[in-house]
A and B are shown apart, each in its own frame.
Chain A
C-alpha cells in the first residue's frame, strides 16, 4: 500500500495537485453526483423561465457555474483583492438562476 501510494504520488507529480484545487474538484464532483442522483430520484420536466426557452436543472447548474467563473474573473479584473465578495455574488447569481431561469 505504502509503495503504491508513493508510486501514485510520483506518477501524478506533474499534475501539481494542491489541497485548494483538490477541494474545488471534489466539490464539483460531489455536485455533479448529487445532480445525477437527483435526476434519477426526482425526474423533472424542463421549465421555461426568464430566458424564454426550456431549461433543466442541469442547464441551470451549468449557467450558475459558468456565471460564477465570470463573476470571479470580473471581480479580479475590475475590483481586485478579496474574492469573498465575488463568491457571495456568485451564490446570489446561482440562486437567481435556479429560481428564475
Chain B
C-alpha cells in the first residue's frame, strides 16, 4: 500500500490548536506581557522594561535570593526522588511475578497509589505523619525519636520524599515491567547456555532493553517533581520557614499572596525556559536513540 502525503491533513489539527490557544498560548503570551510591567490591580499596568528580570537574576536582591533558593530546592527534590524511585522501580519490576493471579493482584496494588488524586495524597500523608494522631508520626515518637515534620526542616523533607516515592514508584515499576516483558525468552535462554550470572543478565540484557522506558520514566518523574505544587502545599505549606518552598509554591506566593504579577511572571518565564530545555534534551535523546536502534 502506498501512502499519499497531503499537507492539507494538518488542518485537522486546527481544533486542538484552538483549544491549546485558549488554555496555553494566550495565557503564556499574557505572562510575557506581565513580566515587563507592574500592576496595582484593576487592569492598570505600568511599563517596567527588563526590571523584573534584573531583580530576579540578581542573587543579592530579595526576589533573586528567593528565586535561586527555591530553584535549588526544586532541583534537589527532583534529584532525590529520581535517585530513589528509579532504582527502586527497577527492583520492584524485577521482583514482580511474570504471570497468573499473583501478577494481576500485584498490578492492581501497584496501580492504586497512581489513582489517588494529588491533594488526597497530601492529606493522607499530612495525617499519617502527624506526631499526635498520625500512625507514622506517633510511632516514631513512641520509639523515642523526636519527630515533628511541622517544626523540623529535615523531617519535612523526609516526609515529602517518602510521599512522592509512595505515590510514583509504581509508575516507574510498571514502565519497567512492561519493558522487561518485551524481552524475548531467547535472550534468557542464550544467557543460560553461556552460564551468565543474574547480575550479568541484568547488566547486559535487561538494562539495555529498559533504556527506552527508563528514559520516559525519568522524563515524566522529573517534569512532575520539578513542577510539584499540590503535595508540598497540603503537607508542609512550604514550611517550616521556607525550607520546603519549591519553585511553584514560591511562584504562587508571589503572584497570589503578594499580588506581584510582574515578578511572578518574570519568574514563570525563566521557570518555563528551564523546563522547556530539559524537555528538549530528553526528547532529543529519546528520538535519537530510536532512530539509531532502527538502523543498527
- Chain A partners chain B: yes
- What residues make up the interface of A, taking CB atoms closer than 8 Å to B? 13-18, 20-21, 24-25, 40, 53-54, 62, 66, 69-70, 73, 76-77, 80, 83
- Report if A83-B50 is in contact (Cβ < 8 Å); known contacts: A17-B33, A20-B36, A53-B284: yes
Task: Determine, out of B87-95, B231-239, B269-277, the stretch whose residues face the partner at the interface.
Answer: B269-277
Determine the chain A residues whose CB is within 8 A of the CB of B273 once the complex forms. Answer: 66, 69-70, 73
- CB-based contact A76/B50 at 8 Å: yes
Q: B7 to chain A: which residues have CB within 8 Å?
A: 40
Q: How long is the Cα–Cα vector from A21 to B50 in the complex, in angstroms?
A: 12
Provide 28 A-B residue pairs closer than 8 Å at the C-beta atoms, listed in order of the A residue: A13-B43, A14-B43, A15-B26, A15-B29, A15-B30, A15-B33, A16-B30, A16-B34, A16-B37, A16-B39, A16-B43, A16-B45, A18-B45, A18-B47, A20-B36, A21-B29, A24-B32, A53-B284, A53-B291, A54-B288, A66-B276, A66-B277, A66-B280, A69-B273, A70-B277, A76-B53, A77-B58, A83-B50
By the criterion CB–CB under 8 Å, are A18 and B33 in contact?
yes
16 more contacts with CB within 8 A, not counting A15-B33, A77-B58, A80-B54, are A14-B30, A15-B30, A16-B37, A18-B33, A18-B36, A18-B37, A21-B32, A24-B32, A54-B291, A66-B273, A69-B273, A70-B277, A73-B57, A76-B53, A76-B54, A77-B57
Interface centre among A15, A16, A40, A54 (most CB of B within 10 A): A16
A77: chain B residues within 8 A (beta carbon): 57-58
The answer for the CA separation of A15 and B29 in the assembled complex, in Å, is 8
Binding site for A on B (CB under 8 A): 7, 26, 29-30, 32-34, 36-37, 39, 43, 45, 47, 50, 53-54, 57-58, 270, 273, 276-277, 280, 284, 287-288, 291
Q: Are A62 and B29 in contact (CB under 8 A)?
A: no
- Distance between A66 CB and nearest chain B CB, rounded to angstroms: 6
Complex CA distance for A66 and B279, rounded to whole angstroms? 12
Expressed in whole angstroms, the Cα–Cα distance for A76 and B17 within the complex equals 34
Q: How far is the CB of A100 from chain B (nearest CB, A)?
A: 16
Chain A residues closer than 8 Å to B291, beta-carbon distance: 53-54
B45: A residues at CB distance < 8 A? 16, 18
Measured CA separation A17–B32 after assembly (Å): 9
Whether B284 and A21, one on each chain, are in contact in the complex, defined by CB atoms closer than 8 angstroms, is: no
Q: Given B33, B54, B280, which contacts A16 in the complex, CB threshold below 8 Å?
A: B33
* Residues in A whose Cβ lies below 8 Å from that of B270: 73
Complex CA–CA separation, A55 to B87 (angstroms):
33
